[in-house]
């Protein structure tokens, strides 16, 4: 029995995740506890450490990285993300699937190991661009990581194309900034025949510095939440698919803490946008 790390799943959180983890009954018996595998991934994600520097009392790097990649490639992380987002929404009295959301991007530096980084002239950053779609509560729906030099509106179809039929079942509106007022994007939306529309929320004329814009601040807050996980201080992943999976892992961990807070720590308040009241989940 090892001493727990702050990022470890609690018993209650594990009971939520366990049914969502695929179990394969063929091949040799599993020699590692899946809960400990997830704890190792959460430790790496939250602390920002290197794979080689995982503590010795957690499963081996080779085992953990294999499971991480397997769940990345077979869609397990996205499935867990979807299930937890629906659970959080229901807990605050909302429909499981959103009718509105927000889309935005963030450019971050990437290390030399990245196989597809580029220079963003506007931000003066060599790295990658993260695009996310969140619901009205700021909960992650979809993510796409691309080269930094790509124009937001031009590459928006990458992340928009990852919205599933279930995601789209009620979706009518996505708020965005002026970067998404783009002819190529408008042509793509028309060609796809999507039901939802993208509404640009612009800054007030003459405004300078940070301005808290209606609706758009929700997705900006989500990027701030992700920033609490040090794996995202810059992009350390070789493959953009791994970067996307790490963002999903962070979002999964946050939603688990909302649903089942660690009773030994200060509770994480969840602010419901409509009433501004804090809901204890």
Report whether 235 contacts 127 (CB < 8 A): yes
Report whether 41 contacts 17 (CB < 8 A): no
- Hey, how many other C-beta atoms are within 10 angstroms of the C-beta on 14? 17
pLDDT at 211: 64
CA distance 162 to 198: 16
**pLDDT-based confidence at residue 275 (cuts at 50, 70, 90):** very low
pLDDT at 207: 64
In three-state form (DSSP H/G/I as H, E/B as E, the rest C), the secondary structure along 174-209 is EEECHHHCCHHHHHHHHHHCCCCEEEECCCCCCCCC
Is pLDDT above 90 for 281?
no
Q: Is 209 left (phi over 0), alpha (psi -120 to 50) or beta?
A: left
**pLDDT-based confidence at residue 143 (cuts at 50, 70, 90):** very high
pLDDT in tens, 168-205: 999 999 999 989 999 999 999 999 999 999 999 877 66
**pLDDT-based confidence at residue 166 (cuts at 50, 70, 90):** very high
pLDDT at 114: 92
Report whether 90 contacts 272 (CB < 8 A): no
More confident residue, 148 or 30: 148
CA distance 239 to 94: 35
State the average pLDDT for the chain.
Answer: 90
Q: What is the DSSP string of 84-149?
A: HHHHHHHHTT--SS-SEEEEEEEEEEB-TT-SS-EEETTTTEEEEEEEEEEETT--EEEEEEEETT
For the ranges 12-26, 132-146, 212-226, the one whose mean pLDDT is highest = 132-146
pLDDT in tens, 33-70: 999 999 999 999 999 999 999 999 999 999 999 999 99
Burial of 114 (0-12, 13-18, 19+ CB in 10 A): buried
CA distance 212 to 235: 27
**pLDDT-based confidence at residue 30 (cuts at 50, 70, 90):** confident
Give the position of tokens 């939520």: 16
More confident residue, 75 or 213: 75
**pLDDT-based confidence at residue 276 (cuts at 50, 70, 90):** very low
């Amino acid at each position: 029995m090892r001493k727990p790390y702050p990022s470890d799943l609690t018993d209650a959180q594990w009971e939520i995740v366990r049914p969502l983890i695929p179990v394969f009954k063929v091949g040799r018996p599993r020699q590692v506890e899946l809960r400990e595998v997830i704890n190792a991934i959460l430790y790496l994600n939250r602390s920002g450490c290197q794979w080689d520097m995982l503590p010795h009392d957690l499963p081996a790097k080779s085992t953990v990285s294999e499971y991480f990649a397997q769940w990345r490639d077979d869609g397990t992380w996205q499935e867990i993300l979807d299930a937890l987002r629906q659970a959080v929404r229901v807990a605050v009295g909302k429909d499981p699937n959103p009718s509105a959301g927000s889309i935005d991007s963030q450019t971050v530096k990437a290390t030399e190991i990245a196989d597809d980084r580029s220079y963003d002239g506007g931000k003066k950053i060599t790295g990658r661009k993260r695009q996310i779609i969140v619901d009205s509560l700021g909960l992650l729906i979809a993510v796409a990581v691309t080269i930094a030099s790509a124009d937001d509106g031009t590459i928006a179809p990458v992340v928009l194309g990852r919205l599933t039929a279930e995601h789209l079942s009620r979706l009518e509106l996505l708020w965005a900034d002026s970067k998404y007022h783009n002819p190529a994007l408008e042509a793509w939306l028309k060609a796809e025949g999507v039901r939802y529309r993208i509404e640009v929320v612009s800054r007030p004329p003459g405004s300078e510095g940070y301005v808290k814009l209606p609706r758009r601040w929700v997705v900006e807050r989500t990027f701030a939440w992700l920033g609490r996980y040090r794996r995202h201080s810059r992009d350390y992943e070789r493959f953009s698919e791994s970067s996307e999976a790490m963002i999903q892992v962070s979002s999964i961990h946050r939603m688990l803490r909302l649903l089942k807070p660690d009773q030994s720590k200060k509770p994480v308040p969840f602010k419901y946008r409509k009433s501004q009241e804090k809901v204890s989940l």
